[in-house]
Amino acid sequence: MKKYRVFDHTADLGIEVFGKTQADLFSRAALALFDLLVEGVDAQTTASTEARKLVIDGADSADLFVNFLREILYLFNGEGFLLTECRIAQIAEKRLRADIRGRRYDARKDRVKTEIKAVTYHQAAVVQTARGWQGRVVFDV
C-alpha cells in the first residue's frame, strides 16, 4: 500500500506524503524515499541487521523535514545503509529523534530504481490538515 503520491516536476521527482500525526508523516516519508530508491524494500521482505539513532535539527518544520530526509539519503548514498524501518521517537517543530533500522545495500541483489542526488528545499512544506499531516518535497534526480 502506497502512503505517498508522486507528483510530476520538470526534470525532477516530487512526493506528497500523508500521516495521522507529524511523527507518522516523517516515518512514512522516510519509507517513501527508500521505496523510490530501491526495488522491493520494506520491513516485511527485508531482515534488518543494523540500528541507528538520529537527532535532526531544523529552523522550522519544513526545514526539519528536508534535513531529516537529507540525512537518511546520505546514509544510503554515502554509507550504503538501506532503511527498512523508521520510528520517530520524539518530534517538535525544530528537532526530532528517530530510531531507524535497516541493512547493507547489496549491489548483487538490490536493484536501484532511481538515483536521487539530493533532497531539495524547493516547495518543501509540512502542514497540519483537518485529516492529519501532509508533507511535500522535491528530489533532484
Partner 1 sequence: MSETIMKKMDENRWLIEPAGGMRVPGILYTSERLLRDMGGDESPKQVANVAHLPGIVKYSLAMPDMHWGYGFPIGGVAAFDMASGIVSPGGVGYDINCGCRMMTTRLDLDAIRKQLPELVTALFQNIPSGVGSTGPLKLSPKDSRKVLIEGAKWTVDQGYGTPEDLEATEDHGAMDGADPEKISARAMDRGKQQLGTLGSGNHFLEIEVVEEIFDPIAAAAFGLEQDQIAVMIHSGSRGLGYQVCDDYLARMIKHMREMSLNLPDRQLACAYLDSQAGKDYLAAMACAANYAWANRQMLMHWTRETFEKTLRKTPRELGMRLLYDVCHNIAKIETLPVDGQLKKLCVHRKGATRAFPAGHPAVPERYRKVGQPVLIPGDMGTGSYVLAGTDRAYEDTFGSTCHGAGRVMSRAQATKLSKGRVVHRDMADRGVIVMASGRGTLREEIPEAYKNLDEVVAVVHRAGISKKVAKLRSLGCIKG
Nearest Cα neighbor of 139 from 66, 31, 85 is: 66
40, 114, 125, 127: which one binds partner 1 (CB under 8 A):
114
Task: Indicate which single residue of 10, 44, 45, 129 sits in contact with partner 1 (rule: CB under 8 A).
Answer: 10
Express the helix, strand and coil content of the chain in percent, nearest 5 each: 25, 45, 30
By CB under 8 A, the residues from 63 to 92 that bind partner 1 are 63, 67, 70, 74, 77-79
Q: How far is the CB of 70 from partner 1 (least distance, A)?
A: 6
Q: Judging by beta carbons within 10 Å of its beta carbon (0-12, 13-18, 19+), is residue 83 exposed, middle or buried?
A: buried
How many helices (H) and strands (E) the chain has is answered by 2, 8
Site for partner 1 in 30-59 (CB under 8 A): 59
- The footprint of partner 1 on this chain (CB under 8 A) covers a number of residues equal to 29
* Residue nearer to partner 1 on the CB measure, 67 or 84: 67
**How near is the Cβ of 21 to partner 1 at its closest, in Å?**
26
Q: Which residues contact 54 (CB under 8 A, 6 or more apart)?
A: 68, 71, 72, 96, 97, 98, 99, 100
Which triple of cell numbers denotes residue 127?
A: 502542514
Which residues here bind partner 1, judged by CB under 8 A?
Answer: 6, 8-13, 59, 63, 67, 70, 74, 77-79, 105, 107, 111-115, 117-118, 120-122, 140-141
